[in-house]
């Protein structure tokens, strides 16, 4: 492998999905030139346009300006990079890639928790919609998610689409990323894999902040798989995610296979969670302001 740009000690990109440890990775590498979600909206908008065929590779790079073509970060932790990982691979032959992965069950719930907090917040405050929500979320959920703040319905309709998106992402990254320049790391093993992260980037493991490897933990969560368990959901899981989960997350896969039937109706579980989360969001906004709704 050749040298990275001389103004960088190393050149690394996080290429995981949203809610797969991007904050934690950025924090672990906080003693280096590290950015987290820098110009995320611009990257996602251009990345989706390229995926749809509206932009060529060169037009995509021109659309994001110097953000990518003049690399200034050593650990570039942005959850849009997976949309154009092949461009980064080809344009930066000396860059390395950190593919953070999370089991589909906890990933879907974490992602939907985050979106729901914003949906609830908009019932009481003005919070502009971002292209991440209106376009990127629509892509991941195949348009099944209702962003309207007055909506109190559960979000179970988005689960099959999110499972398909997760599985396709896992397959695509395995095909696109160069094995000799890539480390796939589970988010629940970030601290344990610190030596491997250090070897990949060529830094000292002692400098990585492994004590901060689980930053940005969610305040409230609902396990959608357990709550909305059904034959249809299990069939979608088996069809899209089962083989990948059994290989990469065998413990989580076995737990799901042995999951007992829910003891509470989905409607009751959702209603209780919605009330609890609404209370938390309202109190957090009153105490800290609108920025907590994220």
Rg of the chain over CA atoms, in angstroms? Answer: 19
Assessment of whether the complete model's pTM goes beyond 0.75? yes
Q: What is the pLDDT of residue 253?
A: 98
Q: What is the pLDDT of residue 1?
A: 43
105's tokens: 């069950």
Series of mean pLDDT values for 10-residue runs along the chain (294 residues) = 75 97 94 95 97 96 93 96 97 96 97 95 90 95 95 96 98 97 96 95 91 63 96 97 98 96 94 95 87 63
The label of the residue with tokens 């906004």 reads 285
Q: What region does 10 belong to: left with phi over 0, alpha with psi -120 to 50, or beta?
A: beta
Name 285's Cβ contacts closer than 8 Å, sequence gap at least 6: 121, 124, 125, 292, 293
DSSP secondary structure letter of residue 205: G
Domains annotated for the chain, with CATH where assigned, are 12-102+166-212 (3.40.50.300), 104-157+217-292 (no CATH)
Q: What is the pLDDT of residue 220?
A: 78
Q: What is the pLDDT of residue 5?
A: 80
Q: What is the pLDDT of residue 293?
A: 62
Q: Which helix (H) or strand (E) covers residue 206, if one does?
A: none
Residue 249 DSSP SS3: coil
Q: What is the pLDDT of residue 87?
A: 97
Q: What is the pLDDT of residue 289?
A: 79
Q: How far apart are CA 192 and CA 91, in angstroms?
A: 31
Buried b (16+ CB within 10 A) or exposed e, 108-124: bbbbbbbbbbbbbbbee
Q: What is the pLDDT of residue 215?
A: 56
Would you tell me the crossing angle of helices 159-176 and 104-121 to the nearest 10 degrees?
120
């Amino acid at each position: 492998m050749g040298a990275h740009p001389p103004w960088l000690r190393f050149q690394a990109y996080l290429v995981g999905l949203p809610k797969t440890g991007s904050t934690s990775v950025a924090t672990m590498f906080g003693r280096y030139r590290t950015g987290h979600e820098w110009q995320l909206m611009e990257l996602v908008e251009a990345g989706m346009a390229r995926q749809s065929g509206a932009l060529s590779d060169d037009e995509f790079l021109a659309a994001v300006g110097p953000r990518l073509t003049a690399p200034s970060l050593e650990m570039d932790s942005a959850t849009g990079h997976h949309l154009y990982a092949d461009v980064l691979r080809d344009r930066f032959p000396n860059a390395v890639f950190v593919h953070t992965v999370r089991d589909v069950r906890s990933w879907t719930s974490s992602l939907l928790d985050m979106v729901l907090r914003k949906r609830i917040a908009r019932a009481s405050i003005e919070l502009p919609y971002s292209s991440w929500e209106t376009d990127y979320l629509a892509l991941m959920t195949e348009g099944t998610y209702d962003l309207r703040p007055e909506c109190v319905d559960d979000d179970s309709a988005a689960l099959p689409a999110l499972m398909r998106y997760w599985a396709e992402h896992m397959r695509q990254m395995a095909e696109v990323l160069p094995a000799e320049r890539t480390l796939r790391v589970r988010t629940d093993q970030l601290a344990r894999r610190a030596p491997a992260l250090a070897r990949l980037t060529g830094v000292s493991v002692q400098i990585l902040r492994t004590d901060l490897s689980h930053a940005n933990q969610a305040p409230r969560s609902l396990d959608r798989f357990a709550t909305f368990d059904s034959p249809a959901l299990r069939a979608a899981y088996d069809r899209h995610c089962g083989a990948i989960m059994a290989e990469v997350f065998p413990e989580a896969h076995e737990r799901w296979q042995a999951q007992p039937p829910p003891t509470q109706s989905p409607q009751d579980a959702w209603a209780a969670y919605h009330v609890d989360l609404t209370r938390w969001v309202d109190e957090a906004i009153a105490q800290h302001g609108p920025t907590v709704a994220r």
